[in-house]
């Protein structure tokens, strides 16, 4: 068996085209969707991610503004900036690039962002709406992108067994909630889970989001399973590697995402989609 590749770039391109059309309609009605990106410090990886997001916004007509604070910025400096962006009617979405420098309280910042502008879906109000299934909050971008990738397989999730490796607030927990709402039977595994290989072997849908290159071997995968690799790590030679041993897994899985080119493009596409939703609701 050779798995079908879930091409995140191609699927994301379709989403971005739809977003562009939505932006054009909003602009005709007098509203230009605006995204404010906050970057604290000079983390090279964060700078790259911010540039990618700015470029993506430009490609669909979203007005993006970058707000830079030095690495020695105080909590008060950051809080004051967030409050100013909350009050700005031209800012529909606020994104604070993580991780923040040591000494800054990430949870305090997430709580301070107006939930209606929290296009990352990290505010407790949006987290609560996700957990209760209310459906009108913002869903974190990576889990939202994962669900779209799974939908592309056209396989029903009702009754399927889904295993999520990783329990982060950004990916692991929210994707588990989304899969549960889609009527899958979900198990969250992590570094202390017993017999991780056996858990994976039972999964109709396997989502790995731990950032450990080569963790999931080909013989861990149930034949025909949907495999979503969220992990992205830089190897010694500078290349990117996922959690899943792709060359092994592609011979067993039914569908699989590559790294790079799988989940990553979908995350940015869903960020754009969330920004448009925020603008439509404003």
Residues forming the active site: 53, 97, 120
Containing 195, the helix (H) or strand (E) segment is: none
214 φψ region: left (φ > 0), alpha (ψ -120 to 50), beta (else): left
Using DSSP, state whether 101 is helix, strand or coil: coil
Please give the Cα distance from 163 to 249 (Å, whole number): 16
Which tokens hold the place of 106? Answer: 């990430």
> CB neighbours (10 Å) of residue 47?
14
Alpha carbons 202 and 210: distance in angstroms, whole number: 19
Note if the bond before 62 is cis, omega within 30 degrees.
no
Angstrom distance (rounded) from CA 248 to CA 216 = 9
The token pair that represents 71 in the structure block: 């690495």
CA neighbor of 89 nearest in space, from 117, 59, 61: 117
């Amino acid at each position: 068996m050779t798995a079908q590749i879930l091409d995140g770039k191609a699927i994301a391109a379709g989403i971005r085209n739809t977003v562009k059309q939505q932006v054009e309609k909003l602009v005709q009605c007098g509203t230009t969707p605006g995204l404010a990106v906050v970057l604290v410090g000079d983390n090279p990886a964060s700078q790259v991610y911010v540039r990618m997001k700015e470029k993506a916004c430009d490609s669909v007509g979203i007005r993006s503004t970058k707000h830079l604070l030095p690495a020695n910025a105080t909590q008060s400096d950051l809080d004051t900036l967030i409050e100013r962006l909350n009050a700005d009617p031209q800012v529909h979405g606020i994104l604070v690039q993580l991780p923040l420098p040591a000494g800054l309280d990430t949870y305090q910042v997430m709580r301070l962002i107006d939930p209606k502008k929290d296009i990352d879906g990290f505010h407790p109000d949006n987290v609560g709406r996700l957990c209760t299934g209310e459906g009108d909050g913002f869903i974190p971008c990576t889990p939202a992108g994962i669900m779209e990738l799974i939908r592309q397989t056209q396989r029903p999730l009702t009754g399927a067994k889904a295993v999520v490796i990783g329990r982060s607030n950004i990916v692991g927990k929210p994707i588990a909630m989304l899969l549960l709402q889609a009527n899958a039977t979900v198990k969250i595994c992590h570094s202390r889970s017993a017999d991780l290989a056996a858990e994976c072997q039972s999964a109709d849908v396997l989502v790995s989001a731990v950032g450990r290159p080569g963790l999931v071997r080909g013989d861990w995968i149930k034949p025909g399973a949907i495999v979503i690799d969220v992990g992205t790590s830089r190897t010694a030679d500078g290349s990117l590697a996922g959690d899943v041993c792709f060359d092994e897994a592609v011979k067993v899985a039914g569908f699989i995402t590559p790294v790079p080119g799988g989940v990553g493009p979908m995350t940015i596409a869903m960020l754009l989609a969330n920004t448009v939703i925020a603008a439509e609701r404003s």
